[in-house]
Amino acid sequence: SSESRINSFIKSKLMSAEDVAQKFPEQITIGASGFTPAGYPKVIPSAFAQRIKNSKNPENFSINLYTGASTGDELDGVLARTGRMKLRIPYQSHPDLRKLINEGKLNFIDMHLSHVGRYIREGIFPPIDVAIIEACDVTPDGRIYLTNSSGMSGTYLSLAKDIYIELNQAHPLEMKGLHDIYLPELHTGRPINIDYVDDRIGTPYVRVNPERIKGIVLTDKFDSSKGFKQPDDASFKIANNILDFILHEVEYGRIPKKLLPFQSGVGNVANAVLACIARDKRFNSIEMYTEVIQDSIFDLLDSDKLRFASTTALTFSAQGQIRFFKEINELKSKFILRPMEISNNPEVIRRMGLITMNTALEADIYGNVNSTHVLGSSMMNGIGGSGDFTRNAYISIFMAPSIAKGGKISAFVPMVSHVDHNEHSVQVMVSEQGLADLRAKTPKQRAKLIIDKCVHPMYKDQLNDYFQHAQRVSFAQHTPHDLKQALSWHVRLQETGSMHPDHQQSQQPTS
Ligand code: 0RQ
């Protein structure tokens, strides 16, 4: 119960969010808990935003915000709206932040999540003044038990000058034990001894000197995850194409019968793929080594197909959260939450041999993938962990519905307007139209496959025309391009609102 949680140490540190906010320096670097709206602080940031708003000189304030990944409105939203955020790393998905970034008013550094810890520990980024960490319990000897995410919390707790805890009593104390906290050493590069998804190598808590904890604020709020769109027809087709491919690889002995662990990215499409595995009779037991678990995990649990899931965040809708808490005692044996320096660690990913599935905004005929930038310049969310997983995967899969915005955009283009994952790391490309296995193919073979298998019928001729034309006019024949036309689809989208030359037709895609 909440009564038993408030031990004498917690009692001695209790403060209001407003009092905490008063203690913050005006120029502040915050290291906050939170990863893909899971386990982020929910009341102290609002109080700090209010302090700035009430101030006679709001322009004196400046905020650098470091997190694990994206967070909710109660952190990213309220601080963005102060207008005083100056630096944000390493991933975000909040509309107000995105707007500031794309207006050029906020410095956002989009980076591989596995690099964040080192950059901060080595002083490449400004040092952390305060850590604001959501926890479900704190002991007098300084053990901090985290909530729905591990993310960067361990690192921020070890580095911050001052620590403030949001003790979230909505979380049952049974959450204790889910986490496995272990941080890699900085320079020695000693092995991280994880061979299997369920290996534990650390502690279920983060340990700090209790004197560094300057205040504890009580809360009882759920994470504000948006929830997901119901998987649509295109997502199910993408999923089925992937599942057929995996079984094909099993048949050829390239994937063992008991399969390999899966990583699955953020968003609607990724969520749908897992829902499909749950429904597919050909799959009966799967493991996950990933960074985000979404509501689709319940489909796997209901079909009794989840053997084990290792993640750094549990991103649930309110309904999913209620269910997780209700069943926590049974579920605990199937989950580990790891720091993102471990969940995304290239060494561990490479050793375990993962099947990784991430979503592209667009891909080009040679297999380069853009996951982050609309029209080459407008930041969507960030690369997040997709690069950590893709580059080190056993099999790296990229998925995308073949068209977006009702057909005004083709996900498959002559040349991507920005590259996050290059042709060397992308092994399989899949849309609802089909799947292209790009391994051991030349650039021209890849182009042919992508055009044949993945492109929407309304763009197929157009893309094939480009490829043929490129081979005629290209400066060289290894990776043929017409540099004058390579980005013409994007230019057309910008100028006419559609990549399709027949603008009328593109308003009504045929399928
Ligand atoms: O916009 O909702 O306004 O229609 O982009 O697209 O199809 O709903 O896909 O939710 O799976 O997100 C790449 C953004 C996909 C995500 C991305 C528009 C489309 C829609 C979203 P609307 P969907 P998803 C681990 C892995 C990078 C980080 C990553 C992402 C909206 O998966 O951020 O993988 N990935 N991390 O209409 C313009 C195009 C478009 C386009 C789609 N070519 N141009 N708009 N859209 N294609 C997790 C972490 O790292 C934390």
Residue 225's nearest CA partner among 313, 298, 337, 316 is 316
**pLDDT number for residue 227:** 67
Judge contact between 506 and 408, C-beta under 8 A.
Answer: yes
Q: How confident is the model at residue 511 (pLDDT cuts 50, 70, 90)?
A: very low
> Alpha-carbon torsion 338, 340, 341, 343, what sign?
positive
Taking CA atoms only, the protein residue closest to ligand 1 atom 50 is 384
**pLDDT number for residue 228:** 67
CA–centroid distance, 381 to ligand 1, in Å, is: 8
Separation of alpha carbons 456 and 444, rounded Å: 19
Residue 358 in contact with ligand 1 by CB distance below 6 A: yes
The residue from 291, 341, 362, 423 that is catalytic is 291
For 401-449, what is each residue's pLDDT tens digit? 999 999 999 999 999 999 999 999 999 999 999 999 999 999 999 999 9
Residue 292 in contact with ligand 1 by CB distance below 6 A: yes
| Ligand 1 atom closest to 384 (CA) | 50
Residue 381 in contact with ligand 1 by CB distance below 6 A: yes
For 275-331, what is each residue's pLDDT tens digit? 888 999 999 999 999 999 998 899 999 999 999 999 999 999 999 999 999 999 999
What percent of the chain clears pLDDT 70, i.e. is strictly above it? 97
For 163-184, what is each residue's pLDDT tens digit? 999 999 999 999 999 999 999 9
For 325-334, what is each residue's pLDDT tens digit? 999 999 999 9
End-to-end CA distance of the chain: give it in Å, rounded: 55
For 266-280, what is each residue's pLDDT tens digit? 777 888 888 888 999
For 85-141, what is each residue's pLDDT tens digit? 999 999 999 999 999 999 999 999 999 999 999 999 999 999 999 999 999 999 999
Residue 77 in contact with ligand 1 by CB distance below 6 A: no
Question: Which helix (H) or strand (E) covers residue 397, if one does?
Answer: strand 395-399
CA–centroid distance, 462 to ligand 1, in Å, is: 24
Mean pLDDT of 217-244: 89
Residue 260's nearest CA partner among 270, 269, 247 is 247
What percent of the chain clears pLDDT 90, i.e. is strictly above it? 90
Global confidence as pTM: 0.96
Taking CA atoms only, the protein residue closest to ligand 1 atom 39 is 361
CA–centroid distance, 361 to ligand 1, in Å, is: 6
CA–centroid distance, 387 to ligand 1, in Å, is: 15
Judge contact between 308 and 288, C-beta under 8 A.
Answer: yes
pLDDT at 1 over 80: no
**pLDDT number for residue 3:** 57
CA–centroid distance, 83 to ligand 1, in Å, is: 26
For 126-174, what is each residue's pLDDT tens digit? 999 999 999 999 999 999 999 999 999 999 999 999 999 999 999 999 9
Angle between helices 233-251 and 268-279 (to 10 degrees): 60
Q: What is the mean pLDDT of the chain?
A: 95
Given the cut 0.85, state whether the ipTM is greater than it: yes
- Ligand 1, residues 381, 419, 429: which to mutate, most atoms within 8 A of Cβ? 381
Is 327 among the residues known to form the active site?
Answer: no
**pLDDT number for residue 504:** 56
